[in-house]
Amino acid sequence: MTLPTESKLLSRAAQFLVIEIAHSYGQPVRSFGDWEPLYDAKIESITENINASPSECVFYLPGRRWNEDVNIYFADMIRVYGFDDNNNKVYLFVGYIVKKLRQFSGGTEKGGKYERLGFMAVDVRWLIASTCPIFGQISMGADDIERESWEPWGNSFTLFEGMHTVFNDDGLPNRDIDGIDMAGINQACFAAKMSSYCIPWNYGGIVEYILGPATLKNVEKYFTIDPESLFENNTRDWLDWLIIEKNISIEGLNPMTALQLICKKIGWAFTIKYSSKGEPTIALFKCGKPATKHTLCAPAAYDPASDNRDEIKVAVNAGKVMVSHAQFDEDISNVVNAPYVLAAPRRVEFTAELVPGWVDSDLVPDTADSNANLFFTEAQLETLENPSQYSFYKNYHTASAQCKRDVGRIFVLNETGKYTESETYDRGDRFELGDILPADMLKDEDGKLAYGYFDHVFLPCITQVLQNSVGILVQISYDGGSTWHIPSAAIVPLEKEAGIMITEANLSEIKPKPTAVIDGGDLDGVELNLWTSLAKDKLSGSACSSWQTRVKVTASIQLEKRLIKQMEPVYSGSPFYQADVIAASNNFVKQERHSSSVFSAANMPANEQDDYEEFTKYIDKLKKTLEDTSISGRILLERLWLNKFTVGDAIEKFEGRDYSFQTSLGEQDLYPEIVQITYWPQKQKMQLITRDLRFSENR
């Protein structure tokens, strides 16, 4: 025997919805007319969505031909409202017509003719996303500030398109401490990094930028919001919005996807709610901590022994929310309870000597005629009719097509041992990276040495001058390392290994200060410069390790190991260890300056960072969002419950079958949350979608 359904009982009256239209004027739209009822329209569905997906309303005009002109146009506003059980006016939808739905069929032998004219409207999230792209940086330019007092000119601002919308770029604060006052609403804006009037962006500040009046300038005629008001009522977990993160980019996004991105980072979400006058506003809510938990009624199956046929009547008369149909999956397939979280690769600054990166036999000094042709300065070369007849110019000057561009120019760290003793090279022992690693970078969490014999590349130092890196420092010694000189020459780092290339055209122009001459040997009395110093070492016949010409570099390298953590589940919805890789490279950094750096002894400031504690907090937050069982469901209710459910509410249990949806994650109780609500007024039914959108019926 089947129990009667709620729709067949007379205890519940049908809920009627009113649909109205306000025509738009101008292109682009400048204004809207008065609200007028659409008496002949029937609402097919209203779907309330979460986050960046706009809510939708689909309605049609019965009896109208599909090709009729019915005085309903794109951009006209639609609003739908009804009355709850306490006779309070409840707005379900306010939005803009974006689609005309024309359907017809000429009929077949098995089916009749059919035609329909319908429309679809979407809420203000679509309008914001479609008209307000985010790029550049909103800030105060030279024309927006009074020069003498440095005070802003009211609501004046400039969009600097040549900069990217990156908050706390390079880990440095770049938010203006005051922002821009725009008719009583503050627009959070950018400032010069590390200036005296800037502070770091926290998540709340980023939301204030995304929803500020300057960002939403293109919709100011249709929608306004004071973003600071979003946080006034969110006393629970409000500290989430004070979290500061580095290098957050929303360049090229629209405000709705950008807001969703920021909310997702801290476990929040948003939707659209309406005031008593039908004015839309954005509402934030904390996922996993619903303000309202609902108990629904799913009557037990018919039991002849107890004859429970009146169970639905009793429940309806008691005001219970009756479930007509339900489908829900308790799913562990998407649980991630043991992910690997990867932060930025570790980085260290150090000073080390380099070795020549060329074959010795390619360096052949011309000592003929008492060293007359050993080298030529640039001034001397200009006087020669045919400089290519001299080996110095032909083989070692970059203006020559036959120049051996590695000889005397490339110096390398030799960390892989490529240049160690062999038939080709004889450059001494391999450079041991462990010698310059700080103690907390030397070994990994398992106690193993945290480096391998790979080729690295030189990166700029983390030592800074006025918040700018000092770059890569190269020094040359002509006396075996007793004294060091900074060459006035063009030098670039190698692209494939840790080394440098001197790109200066003429090596003889690189000289010590003060100038000097060579003392003793085959080149006694010859001017001392980089070329003659190398020539002297080569002619001496000694091993590279005994050369007087030395090159050292102060730079940083990025290691193969990085901050990494595998979260091990403590409380989890799955009995398996289910892993994934989560990249957080831009947000958590570990970089240090080793004591070998020449800048360390000079006590110069350095951008040393150790984000391990912040990294650990980030991982703890991830645990709460990834290791819970997913409960995804579709629940059909056989009446329209206005002002009863909202996106972000939770389903606690089913009465009748006595089924609880509660799960626990440590000390926190979790319930499936409503992420979509669909109303079908013609059928007097509504549907709740819980937890995720795998069952979502978005068009």
Task: State whether 109 and 159 are in the same domain.
Answer: no
236 lies in the same domain as 113: no
CB 190 within 8 A of CB 206: no
Helix (H, G, I), strand (E, B) or coil at 692: coil
**Quick check: is 118 in a domain?**
yes
Mean pLDDT of 382-390: 93
98 and 137 assigned to the same domain:
no
Measured distance CA(422)–CA(419) in Å, rounded? 8
pLDDT tens, position by position, 83-120: 988 889 999 999 999 999 999 987 655 666 788 999 99
Domain boundary among 73, 92, 123: 123
Is the predicted pLDDT of residue 278 greater than 50, yes or no?
A: yes
Confidence (pTM): 0.75
Residues 141 and 165 occupy one common structural domain: yes
Side-chain-side CA neighbours of residue 10 (13 Å): 0
Q: Return the closest-CA partner of residue 377 out of 489, 534, 510.
A: 510
| Count of domains observed in the chain | 3
Asked, for residue 579, whether it belongs to a domain, the answer is no
From 624, 664, 661, 699, select the one nearest 287 (Cα to Cα).
Answer: 624
pLDDT at 624: 65
Residue 529 falls within a domain, yes or no?
yes
Q: What is the mean pLDDT of residues 514-539?
A: 93
Distance in angstroms (rounded) separating the CA atoms of residues 26 and 11 = 49
Residue 567 is classified by DSSP as P
On average, the pLDDT of the chain sits at 87
pLDDT classification of 334: cutoffs 50, 70, 90: confident
Residue 282 has pLDDT above 50, yes or no: yes
For residues 144 and 208, membership in a common domain is answered with yes
**How would residue 11 be classed by pLDDT, with cut points 50, 70 and 90?**
very low
Phi-psi label, residue 483: left if phi above 0, alpha if psi -120 to 50, beta otherwise: beta
In this structure, the answer to whether residues 401 and 493 fall within a common structural domain is yes
Boundary-marking domain end, from 253, 280, 304: 253
Residue 532 domain-assigned (yes or no): yes
The pLDDT of residue 454 is above 70: yes
Mean pLDDT of all residues in 187-208: 87
- Does 118 share its domain with 30? yes
Q: What pLDDT, on the 0 to 100 scale, is given for residue 5? A: 52
Please tell me whether residues 88 and 165 are part of one structural domain.
Answer: no
Please, which pLDDT band fits residue 623 given cuts at 50, 70 and 90?
low
> In whole angstroms, what separates CA 595 from the centre of its chain?
34
CA distance 169 to 166: 5
Percent of the chain with pLDDT over 90: 54
Comparing C-alpha atoms, which of 478, 499, 472, 501 is closest to residue 409?
501
428 and 551 in a single domain? The answer is: yes
Average pLDDT value for residue range 415-435: 84
User: Is residue 205 predicted with pLDDT exceeding 80?
Assistant: yes
- The C-alpha angle 125, 128, 131, rounded to 5 degrees, equals 145
- Domain membership of residue 79 (yes or no) is yes
Q: How far apart are CA 455 and CA 495, in angstroms?
A: 10
State the sign of the Cα–Cα–Cα–Cα dihedral 659, 665, 669, 675. Answer: negative
pLDDT score of 52: 96
pLDDT band at 10 (very low <50, low <70, confident <90, very high): very low
What is the pLDDT at residue 2?
45
If you average pLDDT over residues 462-479, what whole number do you get? 92
Could you tell me where the beta strands, DSSP code E, fall in 50-136? 56-60, 77-83, 89-105, 114-122
Q: At 677, which helix (H) or strand (E)?
A: strand 674-680
d(CA 128, CA 134): 11
Is 288's pLDDT higher than 80?
no
Buried/exposed code over 464-483 (b: 16+ C-beta within 10 A; e: otherwise): eeeeebbebbbbbbbeeeee
Give the model's pLDDT for residue 669: 76
Residue 247 covered by a domain:
yes
* 486, 579 Cβ separation under 8 angstroms: no
Q: What is the pLDDT of residue 96?
A: 97
Rounded Cα gap, residues 52 and 134, in angstroms = 15
- CA-closest candidate to residue 552, choices 316, 350, 365, 376: 350
Q: Are residues 513 and 394 in the same domain?
A: yes
Asked whether residue 399 is assigned to any structural domain, the reply reads yes
Q: Is 163 within the bounds of a domain?
A: yes
Residue 512's domain comprises 347-557
Q: What is the pLDDT of residue 41?
A: 95
d(CA 549, CA 563): 39
Same domain as 532, residue 486: yes
Nearest to 92 by CA among 15, 17, 13: 17
**pLDDT, average across residues 424-433:** 85
Domain boundary among 206, 228, 253: 253
Residues 6+ apart with CB under 8 A from 497: 412, 413, 415, 416, 455, 456, 457
pLDDT at 9: 46
Note whether 97 and 74 are within 8 A (CB). Answer: yes
Mean pLDDT is lowest, of 210-214, 460-464, 560-564, 582-586, for 582-586
Cα separation, 222 vs 300, in Å, equals 49
Kindly state whether residues 109 and 153 are assigned to the same domain.
no
37 vs 661 pLDDT, higher one: 37
Secondary structure class of 681 (helix, strand, coil): coil
